[in-house]
């Protein structure tokens, strides 16, 4: 059975940074990623709040730089590789990766989180036919069309602004009477003439005909009447769900399913660390994911050293 020092599950900013620190310390480090390195940041149009890049850069470019840096120090990347199971074996962990078993002395979970679904009629039926969770991926398909963004946080408003590059009209539907996004992002939103806001509204149903979205039924959260909003597309940004199923029976999760860690990334199970959006940390940004990845790798290396010293 192949043995590695540190197995990192997930190749987003947290996993890439952990790989950089672990490989640079000469630990045998392997990153398992179900797609290409970069995670969800690859679908981000522009990153303007990552330190060291005053003019900003695309998410794909930042992910590529992180990947190359970790690889330069010897981190090994196994892309399109699905880790199916993580089992403790004495002080180590056995990873089942597409039927093959790999022994890892330490595991760093950096699997991130996935967008929440609304769970309303028509959402599943019209997914890929007008319903999307990625404006960067699908925005160009709605050139000169009318679309809606569901949500009021940073991601929702940033994607709404991005969609104005293509769509003739962008509606923002938010269940509250004020946005949760950062003030500077809100200001850019309010200044954009292509954006129209619908306060105190939730989606009741996604409507469509002939395999395409035609609009959404909106229910009011106050005393206003319900309304139908004609649309060509809907983009959903109402939160995220942790991808923590691999370790749900190994370590403590919070009530939302996010992995609970200390400030160094250690979970409740010895030798198992977690970093990035899969953890219970409140701020989920590229810079915090990178920082948590560095902390998890540093502590993982110290854990390995202590094990060697005790032999």
Residue tagged active-site, from 137, 177, 249, 305: 137
Residue 309 DSSP label: H
pLDDT at position 23 is: 98
Q: What is the pLDDT of residue 236?
A: 96
Q: What are the CA-CA distances from residue 185 to residues 97, 152, 192 (Å)?
A: 41, 11, 11
Tell me the longest C-alpha to C-alpha distance in the chain. 71
Per-residue pLDDT reduced to its tens digit, 238-252:
988 999 999 999 999
For CATH 3.50.50.60, the residue range(s) in the chain are 2-114+240-310, 117-236
Model pLDDT, residue 306: 86
CATH number of 117-236: 3.50.50.60
Kindly report, residue by residue over 152-188, the tens digit of the pLDDT: 999 899 999 999 999 999 999 999 999 999 999 999 9
Q: Is 137 a catalytic residue?
A: yes
Q: Is 134 a catalytic residue?
A: yes
Place of tokens 């940074």: 17
Strands 131-132 and 146-150: unpaired
Global pTM reads 0.83
236 neighbors 115 (Cβ within 8 angstroms):
yes
Angle at 65 (CA atoms; ends 2, 12), nearest 5 degrees = 55
pLDDT of 126: 94
The CATH superfamily of 2-114+240-310 is FAD/NAD(P)-binding domain (3.50.50.60)
* pLDDT at residue number 157: 95
What separation in angstroms does the CA of 226 have from each of 3, 103, 175, 202, 216?
Answer: 59, 56, 13, 9, 11
Question: If we measure between CA atoms, which residue out of 62, 67, 58, 70 comes closest to residue 29?
Answer: 70
Q: Which residues of the chain, if any, have pLDDT below 50?
A: none
3-class secondary-structure state, position 72: helix
Residue recorded with tokens 């749900």: 248
Residue 22: predicted pLDDT: 98
Query: Which one of the listed residues 92, 138, 154, 277 is annotated catalytic?
Result: 138
Residue 184 falls in the annotated catalytic set: no
pLDDT of residue 134: 86
DSSP labels, 159-204: HHHHHTTT-SEEEEE-SSSS--S-HHHHHHHHH-TTEEEE-SEEEE
């Amino acid at each position: 059975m192949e043995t590695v020092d540190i197995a990192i599950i997930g190749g987003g900013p947290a996993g890439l940074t952990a790989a950089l620190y672990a490989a640079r310390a000469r630990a045998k480090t392997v990153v398992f990623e179900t797609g290409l390195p970069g995670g969800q940041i690859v679908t981000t149009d522009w990153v303007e709040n990552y330190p060291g890049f005053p003019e900003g850069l695309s998410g794909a470019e930042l992910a590529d730089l992180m990947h190359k840096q970790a690889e330069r120090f010897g981190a090994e990347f196994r892309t399109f590789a699905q880790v199916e199971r993580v089992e403790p074996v004495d002080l180590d962990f056995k990873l089942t990766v597409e039927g093959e078993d790999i022994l890892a002395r330490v595991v760093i979970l950096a699997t991130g989180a996935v967008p929440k679904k609304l769970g309303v009629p028509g959402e599943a039926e019209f997914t890929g036919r007008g319903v999307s969770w990625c404006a960067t991926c699908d925005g160009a398909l709605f050139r000169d069309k009318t679309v809606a963004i569901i949500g009021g946080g940073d991601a929702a408003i940033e994607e709404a602004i991005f969609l104005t590059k293509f769509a003739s009209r962008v509606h923002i539907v938010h269940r509250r009477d004020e946005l949760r996004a950062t003030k500077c992002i809100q200001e850019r939103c309010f200044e954009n003439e292509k954006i129209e806001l619908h306060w105190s509204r939730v989606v009741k149903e996604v409507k469509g005909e002939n395999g395409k979205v035609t609009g959404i039924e909106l229910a009011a959260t106050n005393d206003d009447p319900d309304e139908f909003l004609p649309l060509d597309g809907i983009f959903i940004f109402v939160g995220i769900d942790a991808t923590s199923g691999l370790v749900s029976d190994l370590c403590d999760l919070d009530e939302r399913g996010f992995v609970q860690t200390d400030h160094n990334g250690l979970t409740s199970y010895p030798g198992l660390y977690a970093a990035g959006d899969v953890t219970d940390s409140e701020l989920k940004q590229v810079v915090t994911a990178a920082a948590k990845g560095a902390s998890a790798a540093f502590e993982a290396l110290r854990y390995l050293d202590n094990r060697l010293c005790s032999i």
